[in-house]
Structure 1
Amino acid sequence: MSALDDWRLSKKIIVLFSAIALLFAAVSVNAIMSNQALSAVATRHVQRGVGGTEALGRVISALREHRIIIFSQLNAGNAEEMRSFEQRFTSNREALQRAIDDYAKVAGEFMPQVDKLRRDVSALEAANDGIMSTTRNGGIAAALPLVKGEGKTLSRAAIGDVEELIALQKERSAKANEAGMATASNAHWLTLVLALGSLVALFVIWRLLIKSVAKPLSELSAATKTLAEGGSADVPHRSRKDELGEVAHSVELFRQAAVDRALADSRTASEQQAVTSALRESLRALTNGDLTAEISSEFPAAYSELKANFNEALASLRGLIGQVSESAARIRTGSSEISHASEDLARRTEANAASLEETSAALAQIDGRLKATAVASARTVERADGAISTVLGGRSVAGEAVAAMGRVSESAKGIDSVIEGLDKIAFQTRVLAMNAAVEAGRAGEAGRGFAVVADLVSALAMRAEEEAKRARDQLTVTQDEVGTAVESVRKVDEALSAISGDVAEVHQLLGTMAADNQAQSSAVSEIAVAIGTMDQSTQQNAAMVEETSAAARNLTSEVQSLSDQAGRFAVGQSQALRAAPGKLASLSQPTKQLPAAAIPALTRPATVDDGSWNEF
């Protein structure tokens, strides 16, 4: 026997369920840690990958914008255009620095490349400042070699730095993805191991419960069943210290008590045999009607009181039979009188029951019509409620349509700003085409093809400006149509409001009609209840009269039967018992039957049962 068998059941349950709780906690902690690790990898990937790529995209866009501004300012026609290009250059420089600063926040191990980019950008901005200063002083011819020489070289170097960072960024994202996949794989295998370990632990716990609780209980139950059926069995597990040991000890005490009781039963069996023999003879005589067969043999001391009680019972029974014979004659006379009175009362209640039945049927019809009217009014009120709800829903839809038209108008304004942006882009494209044409002219014969392309680009830009103007005109027409639609929807809403008011008045009138019908139905129902109560009482009286008459007839028959049965017993007064039946026969009179016409009045008509008045 293991030490586990001596533990109390409460201790076993606490220990086993604590083990299950620890397994659950281990699985939960593993899931939480795995989720945290995966979340950290995903966060780093989003911050460094997505944010870094977006920042580098802004950097390279700003560098290209630098180049476009430098080329555009060479063709500035006056000081105003020159100042405009300088403002754009300053704004783009600030945007470039912000983009570099944003990427530096997530650069991490790429900070040396970021520093190199800063140095190349600083050199490029210094060169661009020199180019703009030369152009401002009227030296376009002197500034052009700087643009194509030092400016172009520094711009390509800065763009090359950005492209290198983009490549490094992609490589780092790939490594982060591999790290995330590795973390997920480790979490998967660890979870699988913990799950298998939990299954093994649960199997061990199940085996322990079977061994220490279920199997001993089954063995103890089998022993208890054998003892209860009167067999002999050894009670197992009596030496255990837990609740099963206590139960086994109690079963052992039960077994010992059963053995002692069997010995006592065998001692009293012989005494009971003698007593039952004497009782058998006396009871056989009593069965044959002899009430004088008293017990005369000697009984053991334990059964002497039984003998005295039996003899006293016979004496009492002899006296009782004599009294029954005398009382039967008196009861027969009284039951005959009750039977005649009951028949008279049944005839009187018949007429009352018929009248109440007709009145109740009429009230049931009136009550049914009033209730049908009330139900129809209630359904009409419900239909009016539905109409109000429909109108309110229509007003709500109209309001939503107005709001939607407002949103369309706001969207049109946004489209207008987009068209304005397209117009500006077309203008800048034309400027670039002009610059390209100038460069092609300077290049001479070698730039003739480029000049043709520049002319085509300029023509395309002009067409884009024309299309933007057409789109703006069409948008203006759309906004006017939206305003007209909003006004129409508002008129519909006003019409629905008027309909809602009229339906509400109809609803109020129908509600008043329904309330009046309900009040009339309630009054008629109360009258029907009163009539129903009277009819029920009358029919109950009729039923009670019939039952009383039948009971009186049955009583007469039973009294005669009782007298006949009492005459079978020998009580030592044979002459008196023989005189009693003759006296009873002289009192016997045939009972008058209830008229057949009165019987239907004692039963509730089927039409009334089917009506609603009796249910109240």
Structure 2
Amino acid sequence: MRHTIKQGVMIRIAIIFVVVIISGIVTVSGMNQIRRHSEATELATEINALVLTAEKAHYGWVENLCSAVAMGTEFTGSSDYQGCVLGKWLYGSERSKIENQEIVRLMEEMKPIHQAIHESAQQVLTLKETDQAAAIDFYLNNTKANVVNLVAILDQVAQITEKEVAANQAGLITSESTTKVISIFTVAVTLVVSILLVVYILKQVVKPLQVVTESSGNLSKGNLDFEIDIKSDNEIGMLAESLNSSAKSLKLYISDITKILSRMAAGDLSSTSSIQYIGDFVEIQKAIETIGTEMSQTMDQIHSSASQVDAGSTQVADGAQNLAQGATEQASEVDNLMNMIEQVSEQINSNAKSASITTREADGVGEKIDQCNEQMKKMAEAMGQISSCSGEIQHIIKTIEDIAFQTNILALNAAVEAARAGSAGKGFAVVADEVRNLAAKSAEAAKSTTELIEKTLHVVSNGSELTELTQESLHSVVEGAEIVTNQIKVISSASMEQEAAIGRIKDSITQISTVIQSNSATSEESAAASQELAGQAQVLKQLIGKFQLRKR
């Protein structure tokens, strides 16, 4: 059975606690006894002093009464049996503190005697007024006898209190001695147990911990070649065994890890651990296994990649050679393209010049057509004015016709009147006929003029319509000329832009030619680099071949 340090320390501390508790209990009990003895002694001393005082007071009281009876002096004593010192003690609250039943019994015995003493004073004084001899006899046989009895009882109380004081003094001395002895014993036992506890701790804890600390220092320095020599079945012994086991396990793990890493350094990536790790070291074992597996897979992938790089570099070299040859052919084609573009550029320049000349001529034709259009507008306005004047002439002819009609009517009326006048009116009839003839001619002339004006208006209307049609045709011609002019300008502008674009194309082709030449040189360099890369891939495959990889 293992005995732990905690159990040993707790047992010794428990012994100290038990001793201290027992000492405390005994000390408290002794102190209580001392207190009780002190209180009892104090109470007995007070009662003894009170008894002596009461005896003295009642002796004086009785002498005062005797002097008053025998000599006729004034009695100054009190007849109140509860007002004196003894009466206050007998009837007061202090009585409850008295535990001695003998004293309590004597106090009950004193009460009637004490009361009779004080009450007899008034009787003696009353008898003195009538019969002094009877008063003296009552005093001697009653009052003084009662005082003697009271004093005797008080003496008994005094004796009892003196015995109590002596007994309490003896008990107080005994309690003090007992308390001192127990306290000394307790201190001695506590000191011995404490010394044993310190010795136990030094032997079972401190010295083994020093050994463990020294060995732990070796462990912290990385030195695992140690063994803690502690033969104990407590916690420190278990700690020593654990440290020894941990050192052996660490040494075994380090040896295994060193072996695996050395094999890996030698190129053997298939090496695995030969022991089973425990606890948190399992993660280290897993990490080493993972490292070996990952490195093996990585090397395998590098080998595959090197093979692919070897094959790819050969393809790249062949492609670069083909690219260099194609670049040379492209350079030749670019030169041909430059020549063709030079020809196209010359044609575009010629087209641009022709378009510029055509634009200027079209602008001149447009201006002339605009002048014709303005003249046709003026002629249309003149035809309109002619048509307006013809209308006014029609109005005038209409007026002439009306005048001829009225003249004709007037001539007719004149002929009628000339016929009525007979021969006297013949001359007037001739005039009327001439006027009628003149009116008829005027009407014919107006009719002819009207017909001529109507023909003129019809011709003017046809001229106006033709003028409008001509004006519309000229307007269409102007618009068409403007469209042609704008298109010629667009063609001219496009020709100029084509000329500029051809210039930029020439620059771009020049850059393309430069790039093709650069690509050709780069292709040759790439071919050389690919061949070098293929050589390096072969070297890499040879290096990876030195490693022994894990089988999947």
TM bracket, shorter-chain basis: 0.3 to 0.5
TM-score by length of 2: 0.39
TM-score by length of 1: 0.35
Larger Rg: 2
